[in-house]
Amino acid sequence: GGPALDAYGAGLIARRDGNLEQALQDLQQATAAAPAYTAAWVASAETAQAIGEIDSAWDAIEQAQRSAGNAPVRLRRQLQAAHALLDGDAASAIGQWQTQLQATPDDTFAQLQLARAQGAAGDFAAAVTTAKTLTRRDGNDPRGWYELGKFSILSGDARHAVDEYLVRALVLYKRSRNTFGEAETVNALGIGYGRLGQTADAAEQYRKAVELRRAVGNRRGVATSLRNLAGVSSLTGHFDQAAEHLRQARALYTELGDRDGLAAIENELGLLDEERGDYAGALAAFRRALQSWQQAGDSHGSAQALNNIGFAHYQLGAYDDAQVYWQQATEAYRKLGSQTGLIRTAQNLGLLDTARGRWDKARQRLRESLSNAERQQMPEEAAVSRRNLAELALWQGHLGDAIDQAEAAGALFRQREDQRGMLDSRLLKAQALLAARADDEAGRILAALETGLADAPAEQQAIAALLRAGLARREGDAARVTEALRQARQRAATSGVRQLQLQIELDAARAEPGSDRQALDGATAALGHAGLRLGWLELAMADAVAANDPQTALSAYREAS
């Protein structure tokens, strides 16, 4: 009838102009006036899904399927694919679109939907290939360039996405005055800049995306951009700002009933706890994220949570648990074809190899991860690989290498404005300088860090206090040693980082000859950190020799060798 057709037309115009909330209202008016109006139900479902109204999208798809009994096969396939995607069955959606493309190979809409379904399945390499075919076929369709940019970022090629694909999409969306598409592209540019280490540019794009998405009524999009903005705020040390962005995003996801979005919030809260140095809190948040993502069937989110849980376990001293989670994450990322994920798990397994004394294996993993990160222009990952190589070199006593790697990591962290990374690399350099007896230079680094340490996580404050204790001991200032060790113990207890706690106790045992040291024997053996265990065995040998106990000295020597 007339009213239904008028409302349908108004809805399509509103959608074209980027006013999605108005478009959805108009399309719902059309279906209310004509309940068998299949095209209006389809448009309503697409619009509802775009702005995160998942329940409305479900209802519209089911109504469209009921009214499409005699519709063309292509439309029925489209509806089956849309239903499958909403149901989390991306493989079924891929099958529908592949079947359609066999029947009509030049169907660009089917090709676009196939790329989206492949991306939803986590097969980013296939999605990139499909999107490239689409852009070659129709270079004036911004949707193809946008999908190509998005999936290129997810498969580890942020540079081409930012420099070419997303720029083309943005120009075409602006030319056609499609604010919704412009907002999606601006947010994707933020992600791309973030991957390339251009933190200020990423934040600017996310802020623009929040405003654009708010203007078109895309509440789910606003929540996602706020979540992304929170990540940048956390990275640059603005923790309260990050928490506020996450609070706003969580409220929107809750309104929308978006389980996947809420899982992502839990993951971001875990990362925020991690940046603050609260690993027990981070572990709890990551576990909640994993449970939610597994329930939602999100394999990419699940892989991310597995990797994050592994790191929290590592910091808390549960090395066996860390290894299990990191191996699961590696396998998940391998299945997904995620190069970024594989680099990150390799870095973490390299840390674990360092802790366990498998130093050759650690060096191999970390150098390979560095090479892959540099080849794919991933400064964040390159910085972490160099930072981990610095730690490995420090434990091995290769102090010049440790200093070089820490400086290189620091330069990369500085490019990204990564406050925690910058501080971490400076502390590593100071540790290497102290070990090399370059006390004056180590002291200058510590003095320069004093202001930044006031707001730093407890873990980094503890490392700085331990360094102060070492410098004071060299100067023979017993009172300053005692006070610095007291501060180090207090901060390390707050952080929960087991390796650091034992490192401080080992240092205290060296400083306090009369102290009870037996607890350190069991604790270093239980943790399984090779460097700390060697430190304990050296101390035990020295004590045994001083006590004229050759049997104990020989036993410690045999274990150390």
Residue 526 maps to a domain = yes
More confident of the two residues 406 and 72: 406
Please enumerate in sequence order all residues whose Cβ is within 8 A of that of 125, keeping only pairs 6 or more positions apart, or say none: 155, 337
Give the residue-averaged pLDDT of 90-107: 92
Asked if the model's pLDDT at residue 1 lies above 80, the reply is no
Band (pLDDT 50/70/90 cuts) for residue 71 is confident
pLDDT at 204: 97
Q: For 400-413, b where at least 16 C-beta lie within 10 A, e where not — what string? A: ebbbbbbbbbbebb
Band (pLDDT 50/70/90 cuts) for residue 169 is very high
pLDDT at 516: 67
Contact 191, 202 (CB under 8 A): yes
Chain mean position to CA 484:
34
pLDDT at 560: 81
pLDDT at 457: 87
The whole-angstrom separation of Cα 224 and Cα 221 is: 5
**Phi, psi of 242, deg, nearest 5:** -60, -45
Residue 529 maps to a domain = yes
**Phi, psi of 238, deg, nearest 5:** -95, 75
pLDDT at 452: 84
The whole-angstrom separation of Cα 315 and Cα 322 is: 9
Residue 89: C-alpha distances to residues 296, 329, 540 (Å): 11, 21, 60
| Average pLDDT of the chain, as a whole number | 92
Asked if the model's pLDDT at residue 118 lies above 60, the reply is yes
The whole-angstrom separation of Cα 459 and Cα 494 is: 8
The whole-angstrom separation of Cα 121 and Cα 116 is: 9
pLDDT at 513: 66
Please enumerate in sequence order all residues whose Cβ is within 8 A of that of 428, keeping only pairs 6 or more positions apart, or say none: 387, 390, 391, 394, 402, 406, 409
Give the residue-averaged pLDDT of 196-202: 89
**Which tens digit of pLDDT belongs to each residue from 265-319?**
999 999 999 888 889 999 999 999 999 999 888 888 999 999 999 999 999 999 9
The whole-angstrom separation of Cα 489 and Cα 502 is: 9
Residue 18 maps to a domain = no
Contact 520, 532 (CB under 8 A): no
pLDDT at 407: 98
- In a 3-state reduction of DSSP, which class is residue 276? helix
pLDDT at 382: 95
**Which tens digit of pLDDT belongs to each residue from 351-392?**
999 999 999 999 999 999 999 999 988 888 999 999 999 999
What is the tally of structural domains in the chain?
1
pLDDT at 67: 87
pLDDT at 448: 95
Band (pLDDT 50/70/90 cuts) for residue 236 is confident
How many C-beta atoms lie closer than 10 Å to residue 189's C-beta?
26
Asked if the model's pLDDT at residue 202 lies above 90, the reply is yes
The whole-angstrom separation of Cα 31 and Cα 256 is: 22
Band (pLDDT 50/70/90 cuts) for residue 514 is low
Please enumerate in sequence order all residues whose Cβ is within 8 A of that of 227, keeping only pairs 6 or more positions apart, or say none: 245, 246, 249, 261, 264, 265, 268
The whole-angstrom separation of Cα 497 and Cα 424 is: 14
Residue 559 maps to a domain = yes
- Count CA atoms closer than 13 A to 177's CA, side-chain side: 6
The whole-angstrom separation of Cα 399 and Cα 401 is: 5
Asked if the model's pLDDT at residue 21 lies above 90, the reply is no
Give the residue-averaged pLDDT of 439-460: 92
Band (pLDDT 50/70/90 cuts) for residue 146 is very high
* Residue-number span of the structural domain to which 542 is assigned: 516-561
Which residue in the block uniquely carries the two structure tokens 């690399």? 425
Residue 71 maps to a domain = no
Residue 497 maps to a domain = no
